[in-house]
Amino acid sequence: MSDDPFEKMPLAKAREAAFDADADVASYEILWPPGSVTRAVFHPGPFSVTYKQSGRIQRYLMKDGVWEAQAPEDVVAGEPVRREEEGVIQRVVNLGATPLEADKDQEGGRSKVWP
């Protein structure tokens, strides 16, 4: 029996859309079907996420080898959500009943999928 709380959830899809080496910013497109979760991703620096639809998400941050649930958040279409965290590993769940699409701008280099 696995202790992975995300084991039975479908995975969101993400792809790198662009990388500007001079500005050290990578851009990604993300699609979350309802009830899906992102892969575990390491964020080397601050980042912004702009959702194309309004919805509800819940972030999970890796702390001392354990996924720590953050409070659920309502996101608003077209309003960027800025995260100042550096060096975090996170997963994000779409808690809503409709798909979410988002664009992410990652500072400090490319995001890395965590093993």
Query: At residue 111, does pLDDT exceed 60?
Result: yes
Higher pLDDT, 60 or 43: 60
Q: What is the pTM of this model?
A: 0.84
Q: What is the pLDDT of residues 44-101, one digit of tens each?
A: 888 899 999 999 999 999 999 999 999 999 999 999 999 998 888 999 999 999 999 9
Tokens representing residue 9 in the block: 């959830």
Q: What is the CATH number of domain 13-110?
A: 2.60.120.10
Strand duo 25-32 + 13-20: pairing: antiparallel
DSSP string, 68-85: EEPPPEEE-TT--EEE--
Tokens representing residue 60 in the block: 């999970």
Q: With 0-12 CB in 10 A as exposed, 13-18 as middle and 19+ as buried, what is 7?
A: exposed
